[in-house]
A and B are shown apart, each in its own frame.
Chain A
């Protein structure tokens, strides 16, 4: 379990409490500036909260050595940075750094899982956006973490590549890995996540099964838009009619 207990971070998070379960996909949603990426960074141990604590199992995250933490939590930042244009094989192998080994087996397995073997010797500059996103996710998988925390991993991808990456993440969740994603696209969240946390101005506005946490009234209240879901569960689309008359966009 990865649990946030009453997390407070100066003007960015205000008393967020949530216990995340492994083996499922949890989406963190919210308008711009709601604190989604900040919460993900706190859960990954990259930001130290002013108040509260994050527990990984029974252990406070702050008590773990950074390398121990890195072995258990894989973090994928939003910016797909790759300096020096290292070949995909070496890029994926960076996931083994916390373990201090070359992890040939794990690197090969991660590349195979994400269909990267044909590009193994290619530099990321010669990859498409989708291939690059898969290579960066493979880097996280090579570390064999218990948790995968990804900040808007689908943001720069087209529909096909979004679904492809979600398929890979679902496979990891089914294997018992805890997957936590910051998602802007509410339709992707409601159709593909098992659970959704909705943040509003640093506080938890909703937390639960996606159909409940992203119910129309929550969307109207938090995002300030007049909207309704259409379609069946698992194939929902959000129809936005406009801004709510009473709401000012932040």
Chain B
């Protein structure tokens, strides 16, 4: 087990039980009435979901940065997160969101649609530039359609629901969402693991990677599947949660030997830790209504991003 994996596994093992106790009402398992029920039915699924969503976003960020050889890459670049969000928005628009299963299913269908479109446009060539541009186009199209859906919402309630949902949150989630998100996320991380050697080969650039046996089309297929499963399922149960995929690989990289293959599992653990801690903080903060997780992470992420840019500028100077 690498140093990074061990570090984040230990931190997660410490943070997880604490997150179960943290909240607007701190739980004392021995004294709080109905503590067992609150823990088993509310806190535990929510914390587990934070771990699942964070692990998916963190690992997807590590894989994307490795694939594009760019520290500023984010899983959102593929257009799969906006595609999933568009699916969820459609379920609100058509009034299906009241059904607990239909919203995530619509979101998963949106993610699958974005994946299929991406594979169709990028084709078998496996060219990274075309692939990234196709992803950006899908993200832009999905964003425009979401704005259209909001502006043409059938009623004010639907509009409010859409906007609130898009901010991303883990409030009031149950075991159902855990079961929806956990299997695809694990499968997605497995896809990244399958791609790890090819991601390492890309350290040497596209031509050298191909000479080492990397097949661009196959690698792209693993990545589309991986990002689709991790990010698509994450958006399906928690809405848009930004910056995790961008920040986490940067936090993890200094603890590894910097090869993309060594980043995937520790980034999954670090992503899980970050979302778990951010969600716990969002629960504990004495705001009138609970701070949305997506907002909390963006508030952390934006200054980090700025710091990253300033550091890069210093490096270039």
**A174-210 interface code vs B (CB 8 A; 1 in, 0 out):** 0000000000000000000000000000000000000
Contact A98 to B205, CB < 8 A, known contacts A84-B259, A86-B258: no
Contact A90 to B257, CB < 8 A, known contacts A41-B207, A79-B205: yes
Contact A87 B207 (CB under 8 A): no
Q: Report the minimal beta-carbon distance from A143 to chain B, rounded to whole angstroms.
A: 8
Contact A69 to B204, CB < 8 A, known contacts A83-B69, A100-B197: no
**B247-258 interface code vs A (CB 8 A; 1 in, 0 out):** 000000100011
Question: Using Cβ atoms and an 8 Å threshold, which residues of chain B touch A95?
Answer: 212
Closest to B260 in A: A84
Question: Using Cβ atoms and an 8 Å threshold, which residues of chain A touch B204?
Answer: 77, 81-83, 94, 136, 139
**B85-111 interface code vs A (CB 8 A; 1 in, 0 out):** 000000000000000000000000000
Chain B CB within 10 A, most for which of A85, A90, A91, A97: A97
Q: Report the minimal beta-carbon distance from B206 to chain A, rounded to whole angstroms.
A: 8
Closest to B70 in A: A83
Closest to A81 in B: B205
Contact A86 to B259, CB < 8 A, known contacts A70-B211, A74-B211, A94-B212: yes
Contact A85 to B211, CB < 8 A, known contacts A91-B203, A97-B201: no
Does chain A have a CB within 8 A of B296?
Answer: no
**Interchain CB contact (< 8 A) of A94 among B69, B203, B215, B253:** B203
Contact A98 to B258, CB < 8 A, known contacts A77-B205, A81-B205, A83-B69: no
Does chain B have a CB within 8 A of A66?
Answer: yes
Closest to A41 in B: B207
Contact B257 A46 (CB under 8 A): no
Contact B69 A84 (CB under 8 A): yes
- A73–B204 Cα distance when bound, in Å, is 16
Contact A46 to B210, CB < 8 A, known contacts A81-B204, A84-B69, A84-B203: yes
Does chain A have a CB within 8 A of B200?
Answer: yes
Contact B214 A66 (CB under 8 A): yes
Does chain A have a CB within 8 A of B213?
Answer: yes
Question: Using Cβ atoms and an 8 Å threshold, which residues of chain A touch B202?
Answer: 83
- A76–B207 Cα distance when bound, in Å, is 9
Contact A69 B208 (CB under 8 A): no
Question: Using Cβ atoms and an 8 Å threshold, which residues of chain A touch B253?
Answer: 84
| Chain B, range 205-233, C-beta contacts under 8 Å to A | 205, 207-208, 210-215
Closest to B71 in A: A84
Contact B260 A75 (CB under 8 A): no
**Interchain CB contact (< 8 A) of B201 among A74, A87, A90, A94:** A94
Contact A87 B257 (CB under 8 A): yes
Does chain B have a CB within 8 A of A67?
Answer: yes
- A162–B189 Cα distance when bound, in Å, is 44
Closest to B198 in A: A97
- A75–B257 Cα distance when bound, in Å, is 24
| Chain A, range 38-88, C-beta contacts under 8 Å to B | 41, 44-46, 65-67, 69-71, 73-77, 79, 81-87
- A74–B205 Cα distance when bound, in Å, is 14
Contact A98 to B208, CB < 8 A, known contacts A83-B69, A84-B258, A91-B203: no
Question: Using Cβ atoms and an 8 Å threshold, which residues of chain B touch A139?
Answer: 204
Question: Using Cβ atoms and an 8 Å threshold, which residues of chain B touch A74?
Answer: 211
Q: Report the minimal beta-carbon distance from B39 to chain A, rounded to whole angstroms.
A: 42
Contact A86 B207 (CB under 8 A): no
Question: Using Cβ atoms and an 8 Å threshold, which residues of chain B touch A143?
Answer: 212
Contact B213 A67 (CB under 8 A): yes
- A84–B204 Cα distance when bound, in Å, is 10
| Chain A, range 101-153, C-beta contacts under 8 Å to B | 136, 139, 143
Question: Using Cβ atoms and an 8 Å threshold, which residues of chain A touch B203?
Answer: 81-84, 86, 91, 94
Contact B215 A66 (CB under 8 A): yes
- A75–B214 Cα distance when bound, in Å, is 13
Q: Report the minimal beta-carbon distance from B133 to chain A, rounded to whole angstroms.
A: 20
Contact A97 B213 (CB under 8 A): yes
- A67–B211 Cα distance when bound, in Å, is 9
Contact B258 A85 (CB under 8 A): yes
**B137-175 interface code vs A (CB 8 A; 1 in, 0 out):** 000000000000000000000000000000000000000
Please list 12 pairs of residues, one from A and one from B, whose beta carbons are closer than 8 Å in the complex, sorted by A's number.
A41-B207, A46-B210, A65-B213, A66-B213, A66-B214, A66-B215, A75-B211, A82-B204, A84-B253, A86-B257, A86-B258, A95-B212
Question: Which residues in B have some Cβ–Cβ distance to A below 8 Å?
Answer: 69, 197, 200-205, 207-208, 210-215, 253, 257-260
| Additional pairs, 5, CB under 8 Å, beyond known A83-B202, A94-B203, A136-B204 | A82-B203, A84-B69, A84-B203, A98-B213, A100-B197
